[in-house]
Amino acid sequence: MPIPSSDPIVVAPTNMPFNSDESLDLDALSRNVDKFCETALSGFVVGSYGGEEFHMGEPEKVLSIKTVVEAHAGRKFVIAGIDALSPTEAVRLSNLYAEAGADMVRVRIPPAAGKGNAAPIQDYFEQVTSKSPIPVVIIHQPKTPMGVDVTPAEVRDITSFENVFAYIMSLNYRYECRISSFVSDAVKFWTCNGSLLMPGGMIGAVGACLLFGNWGPHIARDIIQACLDGRYAEARELQERINRIDFLGMSWGVGVQKTGLSLLGYEGTVPRKPNLPLSDTQISEVKDALIEARILNFDGTPAPQI
C-alpha cells in the first residue's frame, strides 16, 4: 500500500512484545500487526519512544521493521524512528531502515542543533532530507514536555526542504499554536497526543502520531475529521470520552500501552526492564477508562472499531 494521499492519517508507536527472557517476540509482533491491519490505523511507527525505542538495540530495530513490513504485506506503511545527534548518523540509519523496508523515517529534532558551537538546525535537516532515500517526518519532541527545541523561523526553513512529509508538534500546545503557521504548506501538520487531538485539529493538524492510536485509531481519525469539517461539538464529545485513558498513558507510560492492547485482544506482553508491568489496581483503572472511551464494551469485551 502506498503512503495515503488523503487525510486524516493516524499512526501509532508500535508495541514491541517481549518473551519472559526479555527477548523480542517477533511472532507476537507479526500477529499484532496483522490484527492492526483490520483497524483504522494508517501505519506503524517502529523504533519510537512508545515502542521502547531506548530499550532496544539497532539489530532489534531492524528485525522489528522487517517483521512489521512482512506482516502488513502492503496493507499499511512503516515509519522508522531515528534519534541521532549527528546528521551523518541519521542518514546512515535512514538508509539502513529503508533497506529493511521502511517507507519513511521519523527524525527527532536534535536539542543541541543551532546552540552554542553546534551547526544550525537547517544544516542538519538539509543533509538528512537530501540524502535520505525515503521521506522524512520531523518530530518536535523535547526531553522536557514543555520545552522548545526549535524556533518558528527554523521550522519554516526545515519544513521547506524537499523530501519532508510531515511535522509532528510537541506537547507544548501554547507554543505550537504559533509554530503551526510556519510549517510549509506542502508538509502535513500532525498532532502528537490523544488529549491534543481536538486542540491540534483546531490549529490545523490533519493527522496524528500518538500512543492512543494503539487503542482507538478510529476515534483519533474521527476527531481530526470532525475538526477538518468544522464539526467542533462532535469533536469535543469524542475528545472528552478519551481524555482519561490518554491521561493514564501519559502518567504510567508504556505499561498502559501494553495493558490496553492486551485488554483489546492483542499480545501486549510486559515492558522491558527497568519498566515494570502495571499493578492489578492500575489494570482495573485502564479497563474502566477504555470502557469510558467506548473502546471496550461494559462487559470488558472489545467494542467494534468502525
Average pLDDT over residues 253-261: 95
Angle between helices 232-252 and 217-229 (to 10 degrees): 140
Is pLDDT at 92 greater than 90 in this prediction?
yes
What band does 114 get if pLDDT is binned at 50, 70 and 90? Answer: low
Is pLDDT at 289 greater than 80 in this prediction?
yes
Query: Identity (one letter) of the amino acid at 236?
Result: R
CA 101 to chain centre: 18
Q: Round to the nearest angstrom and report the end-to-end CA distance of the chain.
A: 20
What band does 4 get if pLDDT is binned at 50, 70 and 90? Answer: confident
Is pLDDT at 51 greater than 80 in this prediction?
no
Question: What is the rounded CA–CA span in Å between residue 229 and residue 251?
Answer: 32
**What residue spans define the domains of the chain?**
9-232
Round the average pLDDT of the chain to a whole number and report it: 95
**Bridge partners of 164?**
136
Question: What is the rounded CA–CA span in Å between residue 192 and residue 167?
Answer: 10
Q: Please indicate whether residue 49 or residue 272 has the higher confidence score (pLDDT).
A: 272
Predicted local distance difference test score (pLDDT) of residue 46: 96
Q: Give me the residue label for grid cell 531506548.
A: 54
Is pLDDT at 145 greater than 80 in this prediction?
no
- Torsion sign, CA atoms 91, 129, 190, 206: negative
pLDDT tens digit sequence for 169-227 = 999 999 999 999 999 999 999 999 999 999 999 999 999 999 999 999 999 999 999 99
Inter-residue contact 104 to 135 (CB < 8 Å): yes
Predicted local distance difference test score (pLDDT) of residue 283: 98
Q: For the whole model, what pTM was predicted?
A: 0.95
Average pLDDT over residues 99-112: 94
Which CATH number applies to 9-232?
Answer: 3.20.20.70
Q: In angstroms, what CA-CA distances link 30 with 66, 68, 160, 171, 231? A: 10, 6, 36, 31, 37
The C-alpha cell that represents 141 in the structure block: 519532541
Is pLDDT at 121 greater than 80 in this prediction?
yes
